[in-house]
Chain A
Amino acid sequence: MDLIVGQLFTGLSTGSILLLAALGLSLTFGQMGVINMAHGEFIMAGCYTAYVVQQAVGDAGVSLLIALPLGFAVGGAMGLVLETLLIRHLYHRPLDTLLVTFGVGLILQQVARDVFGAPAVNVTVPEFLRGGVDLLGTTVPKTRLFIMALAVVAVAAVTLVLRLTPAGRRIRAVVGNRDLAETAGISSRTVDAGTFFIGSGLAGVAGVALTLIGSTSPTTGQSYLVDAFLVVVAGGLGRIKGAVVAAVALGTLQAVFETYSTASLAKVGVFIVIVVFLQLRPQGLFTLRTRSLA
């Protein structure tokens, strides 16, 4: 029983990290069909934001509270610049966008290396997140619980924005059918920029959260990126629900595989499961019914 609970928890925990990384991707990939390879570097920017804020403020608790919104702003601003300068102009070339943003990611990594140095840096975990909580017979680190809570809050916030606000309605309209939305008077350019800001901002938040459980190096973001993409692919494009289910499923799968074999085989196992899964559902877990013909 303890083993199952432990694994379930590890799965949820890995899944919530994946989800934080994938949520923004799901928005931008889903809406614009754009693969932003620099998304990982936005996560990394969030990590370094947390680091810089802590260096400046000193107190770990206060700095975390400042870093979370600031990370959102930093990631979002970077995303906005990228969208305006590059991605907007490559609209009909999704594969080229992938390669261009990979180039941007390379540059951002090197900037981080030149500014902060190649060795990893660490952020002190605030006092109130140290230690663990006993839950159903296993000890659960508080940092992991915090990340899970953060993931839940992020999903709830995104869902509320998409469902209830006028901006969210416009985003959904553009996802559903870009041309029709434009005919109805929605500026798809503004919506794209807005979506990119939110999606990239979520990457920044994910970065801040990641500093609680690991150290930060210029390649931190890259290591999460591919897994995050797999979550988006398996979950179905543009579906927040799909991203949630896929993230938890992949996290649990990874945790289970790791228990019964090695971490390296677990990666291969997860990959095979996803390829097989795409055999059954090529469009991902939840398909978005759109009125576009593509």
Chain B
Amino acid sequence: MSKFLQSRLGAWTGFAAAAIGLFAVAPLIMSGFRLGLFAQFICYAIVAVGIGLAWGRGGMLTLGQGVYFGMGAYLMAMHLKMADAEFRNGPGAVPDFMELAGVRELPAYWVPFASPAFTVAAILVLPTAVAVLLGLAVFKRRVKGAYFAILSQALAGAFAIFLIGQQTLGGFNGLSYFRYFFGFAINDPVNQQMLYFIAAGVLLAVVAVSLQLRRSRYGELLVAVRDSEERVRFLGYDSANIKVVAYAVAALFASVAGALFVPVVGIISPASIGIVPSIMFILGVAIGGRGTLLGPVIGALAVAWAQTTLSEQFPSAWTYAQGLLFVVVIALLPGGISSIPALARRIRVKNRPEPVEATA
């Protein structure tokens, strides 16, 4: 069975099954409200795939994915607010929240976001470029491990505080109340389903990209850098470049997820991208199995589902559960739930222990 899953045919079968599940079965069995929630979970899962690549395969614990998620989200939100203002008051109008704050003149950096093409390009390019620059700055100087983790976390903290201070980006409240998504009314159930389909499609695409990267020579190198960076460098590779690519891809995934998150959920604020939300992205990846392809997806979906179902009824118990999950899963089950079958097999066979994946 596992051999089949690792084969090329197995991958295609898996994708076909996932596509049928996401596109045909899910809309049938879920109400519109639940489908919207599911779309939101999928956004987290897209971030998780990127973290799985950077952390699980590359050994870079990025505690700041909220930054890229937030960039994508704010860029998209700016466009949606512009479109909204244009619909109400004609081209060049000031978005409603600025009107309330007494801003009469549209800030210059908002102007290009009236264009959908510019917005999409910005969502794809800007966070990736930031990640490449930061990655080069950090990895070229061989800042790694715990240092990198702390820097990425500090970046998330600084970014959230920066956004809170920006009144023309909604400040503490962030941006909310969007009516149109590229011309489609967001509150129309048909369009909400369309948003879900887009999110599901993006998830499949992101997983496919991740799979290709894992199977390529590059993927081998990435794992090699994770396990023994010195040795890779001695073999003549520039390990910094290898890491930057994975980091930038993870940033791109997070940005796209953020851009989808905004129309699906209808609000983005600094509270959902700061230090704590950024580290929470990690939890699902750890639970699902950081080094595996689908573990992060399943883990992120499960955590998001548990969060929405449990946190409202038992807010206190859910925080304890989150804390305990971090402790128990990472201390005792570093391979996540994906490693349970292998562990069970090992206990049954009582053979020589095989190396547990991704404990870096």
Q: Does A292 touch B at the CB level, under 8 Å?
A: no
Are B157 and A267 in contact (CB-based, < 8 A)? yes
User: Any chain A CB within 8 A of the CB of B331?
Assistant: yes
Q: Does residue B320 face the partner (Cβ distance < 8 Å to A)?
A: yes
* Interface 9-residue window, one of B91-99, B139-147, B250-258, B261-269: B139-147
The CB with the most chain A CB atoms within 10 A, among B161, B286, B324, is that of: B161
Q: Are B149 and A98 in contact (CB under 8 A)?
A: yes
User: How close is A118's CB to chain B, nearest CB, in angstroms?
Assistant: 10
A94 to B, closest residue via Cβ? B146
A289 adjacent to chain B (CB < 8 Å): no
* Among A33, A86, A102, A267, contact of B158 (Cβ-Cβ < 8 Å): A267
**Complex: chain A residue closest to B165, CB-CB:** A264
User: B residues within 8 A CB of A95?
Assistant: 59, 61, 145-146, 149, 360
Check B168 for interface membership: any CB of A closer than 8 A.
no
Asked if B325 is at the interface (CB within 8 A of a chain A CB), the reply is yes
Q: Give Cα A264 to B322, complex, Å.
A: 30
Query: In the complex, what's the smallest C-beta–C-beta distance from A204 to chain B, in angstroms?
Result: 20
Do B360 and A278 touch across chains, with their CB atoms under 8 A apart? no
Q: Which residues of chain B from 109 to 148 have any CB-CB distance to chain A below 8 Å in the complex? A: 134, 137-138, 141-143, 145-147
Contact present for B150 and A230 (CB under 8 Å)? yes
Q: Is A161 an interface residue (CB 8 A)?
A: no
Instruction: Among B275, B322, B326, point to the contact of A100 (Cβ < 8 A).
Output: B326
Q: How far is the CA of A265 from the CA of B163 in the complex (A)?
A: 9
Is B143 a contact partner of A282 (Cβ separation < 8 A)? yes
Is B292 on the interface with A (CB-CB < 8 A)?
A: no
The answer, among B155, B163, B316, B324, for a CB contact under 8 Å with A103, is: B324
A93 at the B interface (CB under 8 A): yes
- Which chain B residue has the least Cβ–Cβ distance from A280? B141
Residues of B near A105 (CB, < 8 A) are 323
- Across the interface, which residues of B come within 8 angstroms of A274, CB to CB? 151, 154
**Is the CB–CB distance between A98 and B61 below 8 Å?**
yes
Residues of B within 8 A of A5 (CB): none
The answer to whether the Cβ of A106 comes within 8 Å of any Cβ in the partner chain is: yes
Interface string of A54-65 (1 = CB under 8 A from B): 000000000000
Interface string of B210-249 (1 = CB under 8 A from A): 0000000000000000000000000000000000000000
Chain B residues with CB under 8 A of A262:
165
Contact indicator A265/B162 (Cβ below 8 Å): yes
Within 8 A of B (CB), among A21-80: 29, 33, 35
Q: In the bound complex, do residue B165 and residue A265 qualify as a contact, i.e. CB atoms below 8 Å apart?
A: yes
Residues of B within 8 A of A2 (CB): none
Establish whether residues A106 and B323, one from each chain, have CB atoms under 8 Å apart when the complex forms: yes
The verdict on A146 contacting chain B, using a C-beta distance below 8 Å, is no
Distance in Å from the Cβ of A249 to the closest Cβ of chain B?
Answer: 16
CB-CB under 8 A from B138, the residues of chain A are 275, 278
Asked whether A35 lies within 8 Å of B323 as measured between CB atoms, the reply is no
Considering only CB atoms and an 8 Å cut-off, how many residues of chain A contact the other chain? Answer: 41
Q: A96–B330 contact, CB under 8 A?
A: yes
Is A268 on the interface with B (CB-CB < 8 A)? yes
Segment at the interface with B among A108-116, A124-132, A134-142, A206-214 = A108-116
Report B-chain residues with C-beta under 8 Å of the C-beta of A153: none
Question: Which chain B residues numbered 148 to 178 have a C-beta less than 8 Å away from chain A?
Answer: 149-151, 153-155, 157-159, 161-166
Within 8 Å by CB of B334, from A86, A96, A279, lies A96
**Minimal Cβ-Cβ distance residue in A for B286:** A99
**How distant is B66 from chain A, measured CB to nearest CB, in Å?**
13
CA–CA, A265 to B141, complex, Å?
A: 26
Whether A103 and B319, one on each chain, are in contact in the complex, defined by CB atoms closer than 8 angstroms, is no
* B347, CB-defined interface residue at 8 Å: no
Is B343 positioned at the interface, with any CB of A under 8 Å from its CB?
Answer: no
1/0 per position for B330-354, CB-CB distance to A under 8 A?
A: 1100100000000000000000000
Looking at the assembled complex, report how far the CB atom of B284 sits from the nearest CB atom of chain A, in whole angstroms. 12
Nearest-neighbour CB distance to chain B for A176, whole angstroms, equals: 19
When C-beta atoms are compared, the residue in chain A nearest to B61 turns out to be A95
Nearest chain B CB to A39 CB, angstrom units: 12
Shortest Cβ distance from residue B216 to the other chain A in the assembled complex, whole angstroms? 25
Closest to A232 in B: B150
Distance of A113 Cα from B275 Cα, bound (Å)? 19
The answer, yes or no, to whether B53 is at the interface (CB within 8 Å) is no
Beta-carbon contacts under 8 Å, A166-221 to B: none
A186 to chain B, nearest CB (A): 24
Return chain B residues, CB-CB under 8 Å to A113: 316, 319
Residues of A with C-beta under 8 A to B134: 275
Smallest CB gap from B317: residue in A = A110
Query: Which of B137, B153, B159, B331 gathers most chain A CB within 10 Å?
Result: B331
Tell me if B323 and A229 are in contact (CB < 8 A): no
Contacts of A99 in B (CB 8 A): 61, 279, 282, 286, 326, 330
A-B contact pairs, 21 of them (CB 8 A): A86-B331, A93-B334, A94-B146, A99-B61, A99-B286, A103-B326, A107-B323, A107-B327, A222-B275, A226-B154, A229-B154, A230-B154, A233-B151, A263-B161, A264-B162, A265-B162, A268-B158, A275-B151, A278-B141, A279-B141, A282-B141
Given A103-B330, A268-B158, 6 new contacts (CB under 8 A): A103-B322, A106-B323, A230-B154, A262-B165, A271-B154, A282-B143
B interface residue numbers (CB < 8 A to A): 59, 61, 134, 137-138, 141-143, 145-147, 149-151, 153-155, 157-159, 161-166, 275-276, 279, 282, 286, 316, 319-320, 322-327, 330-331, 334, 359-360
